Amino acid sequence: MLYHCDHLTFKIISVNRIKNKKGRICVGGRPFHALAFRCSGNGRFLLPNGQRLYSGEKNIFFMSADMPYEVEYTDGETLVVHFLSQDYKTTAENYDFQPSARLIYLFEEIFKQWQKQECIYAINALFYQILHELRKAGKENCLQEPFFQAVEYLETRFNEQDLSIAKICRECGISTANFRLKFGRVYGVSPIEYLTRLRIGYGLRLLSDKTFTVEQAAQECGFSDGKYFSRIIKKNYGISPLRLAKKISME
């Protein structure tokens, strides 16, 4: 989930209030991410991988950069922040927990500040506050539904080497079949793929500060050993962990 990306760096390129008209549209992949608060109305999204998401009134929706999609809107209004970032890679996410009054205020305020264009630091600070409020709301929601409890468990304990999907589901009281099915619908990837991405990202951050060896980074991020960590990196990126970490740090 976007609000769990503790090392997110970003550049906001626009904040808009958009009037959505009833109808279906196709949107090509855009070179920026979008985080939107749906003030009114709803949207039904279809992604190229078959993932379907419903975003209703007072939901918050994230759409990744370079992701084409089809959407069917009702009449409504949306506040949306468009931003650039290389720290978070996913498809789309809808946060359907009830937003706090402060979270709604922050979306309104970041739009007002963007219109004034007085201080980009204040605008960035508001965006961080939005992520913080999302995280708090997400944690409260996790207490209510086993699926989100399981997601929270995965995201906070991903670097434990004995972690498995079966263990996560057992601890959170949800069947593995239901968890895998709902996870695929919500995130567009399997729980194992998501777990692997979290571990790879953490391992590369450890390598980038040049105080960890590949073996040490592998152990810290949850892989069984350095050789397996290297194989996973080469399979996904075509180069060694050290070369990839160096490349990322130079970007």
Q: Quote the CA–CA distance of 193 and 105 in Å, as a whole number.
A: 35
For residues 92-104, give the mean pLDDT.
83
- % the chain with pLDDT above 90: 40
- Cα–Cα distance for residue pair 190/108, rounded to 1 Å: 35
pLDDT at residue 249 above 70? no
pLDDT per position as a tens digit, 39-92: 999 999 888 877 788 888 999 999 988 889 999 999 999 999 999 987 777 778
What's the whole-number mean pLDDT along residues 180-190?
Answer: 83
Contacts made by residues 50-59, CB under 8 angstroms, sequence distance 24+: 51/91, 51/92, 51/184, 51/185, 51/188, 52/185, 53/92, 53/93, 53/94, 53/186, 54/94, 55/94, 55/96, 56/96, 58/98, 58/99, 58/104, 59/94, 59/95, 59/96
pTM: 0.58
Residue 106 pLDDT grade (very low, low, confident, very high; cuts 50, 70, 90): very high
The yes or no reply on domain 145-251 and CATH 1.10.10.60 is: yes
> Once rounded to an integer, what is the mean pLDDT over residues 206-227?
88
The CATH code of domain 2-139 reads 2.60.120.280
Cβ atoms of residues 42 and 55 within 8 Å: yes
In 3D space, the residue among 150, 155, 151, 158 whose CA is nearest the CA of residue 221 turns out to be: 158
Q: What is the pLDDT of residue 6?
A: 63
Q: Rounded to an integer, what distance in angstroms lies between the CA atom of residue 75 and that of residue 63?
A: 20
Task: Using the predicted structure, report yes or no on whether residue 199 has a pLDDT greater than 60.
Answer: yes
Type of residue found at 242: L
Please give the pLDDT value at position 210: 79
pLDDT attached to residue 251: 55
Rounded Cα distance between 173 and 32, Å, is: 37
pLDDT at 176: 93
When pLDDT is cut at 50, 70 and 90, the band that residue 211 belongs to is confident
Instruction: Give me the pLDDT at residue 144, please.
Output: 53
Contact between residue 103 and residue 70 where contact means Cβ atoms under 8 Å apart: no
The DSSP H or E segment spanning 4 is none
Which value, in Å, is the radius of gyration of the alpha carbons in the chain? 19
Average pLDDT over residues 100-127: 91
Q: What is the pLDDT of residues 116-144, one digit of tens each?
A: 887 889 999 999 999 888 887 766 555 45
Domain-wise residue ranges, the chain: 2-139, 145-251
Instruction: For 150-173, write each residue's pLDDT tens digit.
Output: 888 898 899 998 999 999 999 888
